[in-house]
């Protein structure tokens, strides 16, 4: 048993495949059929096998074992080296935390590696066990790219629906929470686009510079997948712009509400400013204050204050400040 070997399949060329044990891998020969080995690269034994027993060049080994990588594709003669990403659909995971898969093939062998589970790979396994799986390496790669892209559809649709709901809720009272939600939404959109855009370029690269074992049909399938990715990128851009507009509108509403409050406070301060000056002047503790010995002086001062307030209100209305 080889720790880190997730799947080992020998394809029969008719849509099915035989699952091999670790000890059967060593005796494989190209004339037996297409061999697919799928590893968990975080396991020490898998790393040792890829490094020492796979007969791959150091560049391919490094790519298969890389901890972090962006989507890309490179062709060297009859070999193809790819790194693709799919939406993380594992339970409790964030969709923007995309899961990567690395893949090398020379048309006779496929060696792939991952650290976290990819449901798109499980889809291919189901097809193989149903007898409707790929028959060639090119068909396998085209199917994998198509499944990765198809899995993005639900995540992108969900983000689009969430933005639509937030656009309708911009006028609700829970604005502070909504602003944080919009910020999180924009972060998710940026993270998704960050990996989807280079993945489209990787698929286009295969279509234009595919190895000789890619036939026209598989090139066409890669083109269709790349076109679908282009559509998803356009949707992401549109949703991101809508989220940005909604956030700007929300910020404008919060700013306008704050300005209204400051305006009211300014009006109140302007009304009481002369009153404060007047009462402060009368409150100084020096001799000679008029009315200090008269009982009616207090009510006279109150009348003056009321008259000042009425005059200020009329003045503010005339200037349309109120």
Q: Is the pLDDT of residue 286 over 60?
A: yes
pLDDT of residue 141: 94
pLDDT band at 110 (very low <50, low <70, confident <90, very high): very high
Q: What is the pLDDT of residues 92-101, one digit of tens each?
A: 555 556 788 9
pLDDT of residue 142: 93
Average of per-residue pLDDT across 255-276? 82
- Is 49 a domain residue? yes
Instruction: Tell me which H or E stretch contains 85.
Output: strand 79-86
Q: Is the pLDDT of residue 307 over 80?
A: yes
| Structural domains of the chain, count | 1
- Is 298 a domain residue? no
pLDDT band at 190 (very low <50, low <70, confident <90, very high): confident
CATH number, domain containing residue 236: 3.30.460.20
- Is 281 a domain residue? no
Other Cβ atoms closer than 10 A to 135:
16
**Is the pTM for the entire model greater than 0.85?**
no
- Is 261 a domain residue? no
- Is 271 a domain residue? no
pLDDT of residue 5: 92
- Is 242 a domain residue? yes
pLDDT band at 283 (very low <50, low <70, confident <90, very high): confident
All residues at 6 or more sequence positions from 203 whose CB lies less than 8 Å from its CB, including other chains: 73, 145, 222, 223, 225, 226, 229
Enclosing domain of residue 172:
5-254
């Amino acid at each position: 048993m080889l720790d880190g070997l997730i799947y080992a399949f020998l394809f029969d060329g008719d849509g099915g495949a035989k699952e091999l044990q670790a000890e059967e891998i060593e005796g494989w020969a190209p004339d037996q059929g297409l061999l697919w080995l799928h590893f968990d690269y975080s396991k020490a034994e898998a790393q040792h096998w890829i490094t020492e027993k796979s007969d791959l060049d150091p560049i391919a080994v490094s790519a298969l074992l890389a901890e972090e990588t962006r989507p890309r594709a490179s062709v060297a003669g009859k070999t193809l080296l790819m790194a693709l990403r799919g939406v993380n659909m594992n339970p409790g995971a964030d969709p923007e935390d995309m899961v990567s898969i690395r893949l090398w093939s020379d048309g006779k062998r496929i060696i792939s590696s991952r650290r976290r589970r990819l449901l798109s790979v499980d889809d291919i396994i189901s097809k193989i066990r149903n007898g409707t799986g790929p028959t060639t390496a090119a068909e396998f790669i085209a199917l994998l790219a198509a499944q990765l892209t198809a899995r993005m559809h639900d995540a992108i649709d969900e983000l689009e629906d969430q933005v639509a709901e937030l656009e309708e809720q911009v006028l609700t009272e829970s604005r502070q929470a909504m602003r944080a939600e919009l910020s999180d939404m924009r972060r998710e959109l940026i993270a998704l686009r960050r990996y989807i855009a280079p993945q489209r370029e990787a698929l286009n690269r295969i279509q234009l510079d595919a190895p000789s074992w890619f036939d026209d049909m598989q090139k066409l399938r890669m083109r269709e997948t790349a076109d679908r990715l282009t559509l998803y990128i356009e949707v992401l851009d549109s949703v991101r712009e809508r989220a940005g507009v909604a956030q700007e509108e929300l910020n404008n509403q919060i700013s306008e509400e704050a300005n209204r409050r400051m305006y009211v406070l300014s009006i109140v301060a302007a009304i009481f400013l002369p009153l404060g000056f007047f009462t402060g002047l009368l409150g100084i503790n020096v001799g000679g204050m008029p009315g200090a010995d008269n009982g009616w002086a207090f009510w006279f001062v109150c009348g003056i204050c009321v008259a000042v307030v009425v005059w200020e209100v009329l003045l503010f209305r005339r200037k349309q400040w109120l």
